[in-house]
Amino acid sequence: MTDANDDPAGGADKDIKIVEGPEKAPELGVHPPSRPPRAHTMADEGRQDTTRRNILLVVIGAVAILVIVAALTFSITFTNATAAASYPYTTTYDVVFPNSEVVRLGNVEIIAIPQADRVTLSVNKVPQTIALYETKEISARRAKISVFWLTVMEFDFKLLAEYRGQVGQDARFYLSEKTSQQVPSFLVERLLPGNIRAQPV
């Protein structure tokens, strides 16, 4: 009699477990390789140069427009001088007034009729005589300087003329401009009439 436990095939239907090794964990922080940065090319440099050039042109254009508008809106208005004004600043010019021609200083008209030893000045049709090397005040006014329609400076000034004799048929003077405050030289020169020859002494 054969024992069932001795049957070699008797345990064929039993479950057989296969033990595998531990699962491999996924690697963290691994990314696909990135592309290398693009090299700087001559085309990039050209575009940068063009941008800088355009910005520079815009700045130059804006400055030019401001200068033009400032020149167009620059004005000097003359009124009566302040009674209590003092004049501590002086600039003197060697000037030549054309003989018997009207010289305008704001709303003041000056006409010089020279002779060898004296000159007759008509200031707003009021005549006065200045002897050779004599000095007289010929005008006292207040100037208002405006740019961009805004007042940037106001000051009192007066003109003193020393007759220096004739230059051909014209009258030569040392013309002193005395101002109530320090004024830039280019503004002082704008106070001079446009039809006289003048140079600083």
State mean pLDDT over 175-195: 87
pLDDT in tens, 94-141: 999 999 999 987 778 999 999 999 999 999 899 999 999 999 998 888
In three-state form (DSSP H/G/I as H, E/B as E, the rest C), the secondary structure along the chain is: CCCHHHCCCCCCCCCCCCCCCCCCCCCCCCCCCCCCCCCCCHHHHHHHHHHHHHHHHHHHHHHHHHHHHHHHHCEEEEEECCCCCCCCEEEEEEEEECECCEEEECCEEEEEEECCCEEEEEECCEEEEEECCCEEEEEEEEEEEEECCEEEEEEEEEEEEEEEEEECCEEEEEEEEEECCCCCHHHHHHCCCCCCEEEEC
Beta strands at 102-105 and 108-114: parallel, antiparallel or unpaired: antiparallel
> What is the model's pLDDT at position 1?
47
pLDDT in tens, 52-84: 888 999 999 999 999 998 889 888 888 888 876
pLDDT in tens, 35-58: 666 666 666 677 778 888 889 999
Structure pTM? 0.65
Model confidence at 189, pLDDT cuts 50, 70, 90, reads: confident
* Of residues 191, 163, 197, the one with CA closest to residue 91: 191
State mean pLDDT over 194-200: 84
